[in-house]
Amino acid sequence: MVVVGTLGNMFHPTLLRDHPLWLVAMEPRNRFLLLVAAKVDFVPFLVVATVRRLVSDPLFFLLGYLYGNAGVRWIERRLGDDVGIVRAVERGFSKAAPVMVFLFPGALVCVLAGATGMSPVVFLALNLAGTVTVVTLLYRFAEVFDGPLGAVNRFYGDNARLLTVLSIVAVVVWAWSQRRRGRSDLRSISAIEKELADAADDADSQAGGDAGNGRTQQ
């Protein structure tokens, strides 16, 4: 999915011009969804966008369900917390988990849902309902702003080749930069397993330290 999404991002100007639903199937970012919504009918847009956005969410839920706190620590490391977004999401989830799954079913929220023991049936129902709602709202939003979005689509259509070359260069440079900083999403399964094992050790150490502090206070 990472590879497909990266390719979709690289070639999005050409895909947007010639195969808009393929762009949604490869990389369903909101900005791409809005541009595609201005070009295609509602039903195929809803089906493709909903299925694509739902593909990875159960996998992240299983990560939290199987690995618990270690899975949460792992996804925290992957996302980073430069501006406090991760902690804000965790605070919001602790107060309104169903609302977060409905409105913001990103990787961290899905892992938290699994790690905290949310029912898989409830998770899937909230995730599906929220995704359908958001995709529908994006399509309606695109209808309201059809003029500006149409102008952007025409610009992409008139300059697809040049924009595709620039997009490829930008994505390659970004991927190289991420890899240098050790934050690339393209890693082997064994590397991910080691990261999860390290996260589990850290979680166990933290739990042991908390228990020790509790005994000391008692």
Interhelix angle 69-79/189-217, nearest 10 degrees: 120
- Total count of domains within the chain: 1
Task: Mark the ranges of the chain whose per-residue pLDDT is less than 70.
Answer: 81-83, 181-192, 195, 199-218
Please give the angle made by the CA atoms of 86, 94 and 88, to the nearest 5 degrees.
25
Scanning the structure block, which residue is given the tokens 């089906």?
47
Q: What is the pTM of this model?
A: 0.79
pLDDT at site 101:
95
In a domain, 171, yes or no: yes
Beta strand residue intervals within 45-153, DSSP E: none
Domain region containing 94: 2-187
In a domain, 45, yes or no: yes
In a domain, 33, yes or no: yes
In a domain, 194, yes or no: no
pLDDT at site 179:
74
Q: What percent of the chain has pLDDT over 90?
A: 63
In a domain, 218, yes or no: no
Is residue 149 within 8 A of residue 35, CB to CB? The reply is yes
The token pair that represents 213 in the structure block = 């502090």
